[in-house]
Structures are given as C-alpha cells and as structure tokens.
Structure 1
C-alpha cells in the first residue's frame, strides 16, 4: 500500500488541502518518513496589515526532500482560512530550506485574527508550526481633515498652507456650491501631494471626493437652501463607501469653515510705492514691506503678511537708478486672491 501511495505521490495524484512542494532525490518515502525531521519553521513577517501584504514562511529540514516527498502547509482554520498559501519553493542557496509565500485570499478581516500554519510531511501533520496575525483595516476619522485645515491636533502641525482654520474660496463664490466642492477637491489634491502623505498613502483626489458627502451649512449650522451664502461645510462618508480606500475604514465627520478671499486688485490699486528711505541695503526687503503696508493700510493684507499667506518675492533694486520692483508670492489657500499680476515699483531716497 505504501509503495502504491509513493507511486501516486510521485505522479502528483495524492490530494492535498494546503500548499505543496515536491522535490527531486533518490531516497524512498519509507526512508524519509523514518528519518526526515523538520528542524524549524520561521516567518519573515508575522503580521499582515495590508491587502497587498505578504509573509514568507521558511521550513528548514535536516535533509533534502526526495522526489516522492510532499511538504505542505495548512491553516488550522481549514476552509475558513483567509490566507492563500502558495506552493513551497526551494531556497536557491540551501536545498534543505523551502519557502512558502503567504498572502490574503481577498481583503483584510473585520477584526484582528490569527491563523496557525502547520507543516505537513507526506500528508501527516508535524509538531512544527508558526502563527500569522492579520490586522483589520486601519480606521481613518474624517475629523482629521478638519484638524489639518485648522492647524490643530496631531496632524495640524503638518499643514504648510495658508489661512489656517479656513478653506479659502475665491471672491464672489460663497454661494456657488459647485465652486466650493471644486475648492474642496483642489485642497484634497494638494494634501495628497504632500511628501509626508505620499510616504504612507497614495490616492487621487477624485477617489476621496467620490466617497464623501459634502453638506453646505449657513452661519447657524443649518443646511443651505437656494443661493444663500455657505459659511461652512460638513464632510461625511457616503453609505457603502467606508472601505473605498484600500486598507482603511473611514468613519466620523469633518467640519470646515469657509472664508472668502480678498482680491489683491481691490487692496492695491496703485502699484507705485513712491519713494522709500533706505538706511541699510541688507534691510531693503523689510523697508519695502513697511512702506507697502503703510501705503495700503489694509487689515486683510497686514494679516496675510503676518500669517505668511503672502510674502514679498523677486525684490529687485538698481543702485544706479535707485529704483526697484517687487512681486508678491501667495501660499496655497491664501486669504488673498491673486487676481492680478502685481509688480510694485519704488524709488529709494
């Protein structure tokens, strides 16, 4: 009977429920069953936490397998296992080590689970095994979006954009829901392009927008009807879309205030600063800024420079003619709308 099983095994006709490896050699099955010993079972990763995650289980033997031997790995969960176990592959540097690639059959589980992977030799379970844990999806709370925009909480410090605490909306569009949703998409796009975000998740803005519901609210917190002005928005996840982002389960809501941008063309109407006093050429930029804020005397502009929403850029000065010019640079989401190319000229006393 054993010889028949050995023959069938060599022909690949013995059924197995796990991953299998058949190796070449001259030792008979009877001999292998009496002296072959599995020395160790190790894994390079004992936790799978992503849908695309994997682990390699290495089985080390005292002797190489024969052509009639079958080395398999099965899960203690049987048919309920969520793991996919590939056939074993001989290590290219050591023919006594066989490696089994472990991946997920489908998706991460609803809750953390652990499976015991048992090594079998010729259909018989050995006392050698290892365990792999599978983590559920990581929870992502939409309130973090509000914290990021507000520059508060754990994520607020990573916000490099302007006008913290608000989503800036171009002048004249506070009642335009389509424009506001476009501004949300643009903000999300810029967040996703940040290097620190790219380091742990890669998404496109449209994927995020497709899974969330945006509710437009007035100053009293009620949903806006008609063409009334929108003061804030509430972002929630749509029913059935909480798992749209691979490896994440989205919960919660974000509340974001809106602020209408002030057009630079309405603040600066005369682009000639006139004469400025310069006592130290190294302080030219400071002198130009002081003169600019003094001449235009606009609180929106002062606050924008104070919060660095707007900065002086490309300051040029010609000593011979004692004349110069400066442009403005705007942060993304600035409180000031760059609706006109502003090159401000000046003379030095």
Structure 2
C-alpha cells in the first residue's frame, strides 16, 4: 500500500539528493581555490592541488555550505552498484545508520527498515535503479528547490493514493499557501502542533525569502504524533537547511506536549478533524480555560491548545471541519462563546 512504501521511497530520494550534492561539493571546493575573489583562492598551482586534495577530505568544507557528510559506503553510486545483492535491504539500513552517525541533525530521522519490507531484494534493487536516474545539479542555485518539488510531488501522490488518511502527513499546497499568505509569518516563532510532513514550515520559509528576509529569522517549532511522519518532516526541513525544534520525541500534543512553555508569534495548523482523544488524562489542564472539550471530538481541544500557545500579539490560522463553527454538542457552543467573549 502507499502507506507502507512512501517512507522507503522518500528515504531513497533523500539519499540520492544528499549523495549528489556531496559528490559535487568537491567541484565547488576546486572552484573556490581558483577564484581570486574567494577566501580560499590559492595562486600557486602545485600548492593549490595539494590543498584541494586535503580540503575535499575535510568535512568543515562541506558543513560550511550546509552539505551533509556522506560516508563512502553510504553514497548512492556505491549502493546502486550493489543493487542486485540479495542482502541489499540490510546494506541500505547500514548505510542510513552510518549517515545518521556522521550527521547529528539526521539522527533518528532516516528510514532504516528496508530489512523489514515485505518485498524481495530484486524489487528494492529496481527501486534503487529508478531513483538513481534522478539528477540533482548541486551547482545550480535552485537544486534544493528542485529536490523540494520532487519531495512534495511524491508526498502529494502518496496522499492521493491514501485518500482521507493522508491528512495525517500532508496538507494540500493551496491550503498551506493560503494560511501563510494570510498570516504573513515574516519573523519570530512559528509553531505547528500537528505538523505532518512540515509543509507549513517550508512555505513559511519561502514567504520570508520571497519578501527579502533571511533564512533563520523565524524559529520553527513542531510536534507530530507518529514517529514515521515526524521523520518525514525532519527530512523535509533538513534538506532545505531549515533549523527546527521538533521536541525530544514524537508524541500526542495533548498528553505529551513537547513545547510546554512555548509562546508562538504564528501558529499554522491543520489538525485531524473530529478525532476522539484522551480527555480524562488531562481534564484539569490549564489549556482548557474555556471549558473541557468533549472526549468524542478534539476540535476545541486543538483550538484551545493553540490559543494557549500564542504570544501576546500572536496570530493563528487553523483548518477545521465546517461544523466546528456552529456545533453545540457536548458543550462546544459554550466553549466557542467563551473564547469569543475573551477575545
């Protein structure tokens, strides 16, 4: 099913991109050495050759350009050459673990369950070969954007396959763009309490760049309930060089809030509609200032959680089911009235 295979597919797409960028970084280093305007310009040809040989093995020259360090045995070309091995699934798991070990930002993020997939090694090798045809030109300014478009393309098509269930990890681009354009999150703290694959954050960063801002002037905070979807978000942000705080772990936003003291300037969210939740576990929580939401429907739990996270002048944009604005069931009308009066 799409639900089972989106993670390994996106994991391999991620691996292909970081491998292409890593391998191209050697050319970037050589170009700096011959460019008189570069801080790394070396006039003497023999000395230049010697230094470039050292620099291409120095991870600081990769980290300076936000390029992940990829161990030799984990590079896509090396793995592709082993695509017909009956042990390819375990080889991939080992390669992903090695990349995580070398890059703290990626620890606990990459897909490492190829060995558990219920498909034969030949199919995994075929998938490696198909994704291997993708080319990411790291020398072009837009290479990160191209990867982002590919990543989003896969997310969108997996979402179409999964139908309604896809809402847990994917919000349509048009919805995200509308929220971002309305809120205009140019700087400050941005939070999504049910962030899925991180689309709200990606478009917020794009908004900042389009309007002349700099990457990093907004601070990203997110939380996701499932481990696999949290990994999608972390990969989505890491590949774009976006710093983020996704909390210590995945978890239920209501019962295991990863950012208890956060006060955000902007909150963008598309929470699950009309979901049941464990109201008894947090019945006395200070977030329910306008009334304890009913256990059968978390819509007003989400809204009150979001309101509780806003800074003094904070703004929020939230996607909710149509009926949530008129429902009077289980005290929801009373909660809504209290929220409006307090505004």
TM-score (norm 2): 0.22
Higher helix share: 2
Higher strand share: 1
TM-score (norm 1): 0.22
